[in-house]
Amino acid sequence: MTLKQAIGKLHLWLGLGSGLVVFVVSLTGAIFTFQDEIRDAVEPWRLVAAPAHGAPLPPSRLHAATVAQHPGAVPSYTTYYGPGRSTTVYFSDPAGGSYLASLNPYTGQVLHEQNLATDFFSIVQALHMYLLLPVAVGEWVVGVAVAIFLVMLGTGLVLWWPKRRQERKQRFTIKWGSKWRRLNYDLHQVLGFYVAAGAFVIALTGLFMSFGSWLQAASTVANAGRHYPQEEVPPAVATLAAARAPAQPLADVAYAQVRRQSPTADMVMIGPATDPKQPLYCLTYQKALHYYHRDEYYFHPVSGQLLGALPHAAKSPGKKLGDLNYDLHTGQLLGLGGKIVAFLISLILASLPVTGTLLWWGRRHKAKKPAPLRAAAAVRG
């Protein structure tokens, strides 16, 4: 067996073993790419009229409006998406269900509630990230399949590489009028080659989401081996004995401070204060629905005192690389054009396990033909 034949066997069996997961992950990724645009078109409660004067209500008012609709509900993450957009409050009810309330941030009116267990895009996202399996198991399965896919990209390029100069044109074009086996071969090899670079970026950034240690390793490389402790460990919470609770709700105190610290930020996310030994954290994003340019803040869980801040401009290259990961993975770093490219790449990636399986099946079926039939087939081309 030659080296190229061995690589072909490796490519085949890795593909058969991971193909179904790659198909599901790629297809759901393509669907999820335009989830914000689709939601804006079919969910009118996501958009509100911004008044000429007046600021959004503080988080406690929005929490109170949410709980009024669902007595016993426990609000958690609160996100302000900027002028003209509703604010969302994640909450759980006493029965353990998870919901998302959309409110008018200027009036406090609850515009809509979504059950995340039945929401279409929430299900698509769960399929994409962990196949609806238990999260720890599903993320591992997806991560391993994506890692295998990265190996397959390398072996696929080796198999694609033409031996002779006259074969080069064939490897760059699809022969649309050919029989289905040849057409399927071209769709697999030619399309696979054209999307290889983009597929590598999407797969690698997806792998960073599944395995945080891989992202940490990439950040260390980007930082040339230097460590930045202030980025790696949240500020410690001092003793609570002397801490005094503020007159206002803690979330309101944190929200007011981050608005002053990041006055040009469109989007603000306030985390829940669930552990009195851990700081409450808030994130501000320069542009709504974009997650790269962000400032991070940590507050004392009792007094609301600012314990630490990590503005975007002060972050290390490795930290910025980590912040960039989601926008790079979805293509939205480059706006609508980037999303279209990511969508098309994801669709083609979903087709590769299908065309690859058909390619294997066709060769296997052809190999089982009686010798006279194989000879006749070879003469017909």
Residues 328-339 pLDDT 10s: 999 999 999 999
Q: Which amino acid is at 204?
A: L
pTM: 0.89
Looking at the structure of the chain, the number of domains it has is 2
On whether both 34 and 142 belong to a single domain, the answer is: yes
122-137 burial string, b = 16+ CB within 10 Å, else e?
bebbbbbbbbeeeeee
Quote the pLDDT of residue 242: 57
On whether both 189 and 322 belong to a single domain, the answer is: yes
Contact status, residue 185 vs residue 239, Cβ threshold 8 Å:
no
Quote the pLDDT of residue 374: 52
On whether both 152 and 216 belong to a single domain, the answer is: yes
Quote the pLDDT of residue 85: 96
pLDDT in tens, 66-91: 999 988 999 999 999 999 999 999 99
* Average pLDDT of the chain to the nearest whole number: 91
The long-range contacts involving 334-340, CB below 8 angstroms and separated by at least 24 positions, are 339/33, 339/34, 339/37
- Say yes or no to pLDDT of 14 above 90: yes
349-375 burial string, b = 16+ CB within 10 Å, else e?
bbbbbebbbbbeeeeeeeeeeeeeeee
CATH of the domain at 51: 3.10.450
Scanning the structure block, which residue is given the tokens 């071209």?
Answer: 186
d(CA 121, CA 123): 5
On whether both 39 and 151 belong to a single domain, the answer is: yes
On whether both 74 and 126 belong to a single domain, the answer is: no
Final residue of a domain: which of 116, 144, 166? 116
- Say yes or no to pLDDT of 239 above 80: no
Q: Is residue 12 part of a domain?
A: yes
Domain containing residue 364: 1-46+117-228+316-370
Comparing 49-53, 240-244, 323-327, the range with the smallest average pLDDT is 240-244
Phi, psi at residue 111, to the nearest 5°? Answer: -90, -35
Contact status, residue 10 vs residue 155, Cβ threshold 8 Å:
yes
pLDDT in tens, 187-223: 999 999 999 999 999 999 999 998 989 999 999 999 9
H or E stretch at 214 = helix 212-222
H or E stretch at 102 = strand 98-103
Quote the pLDDT of residue 378: 47
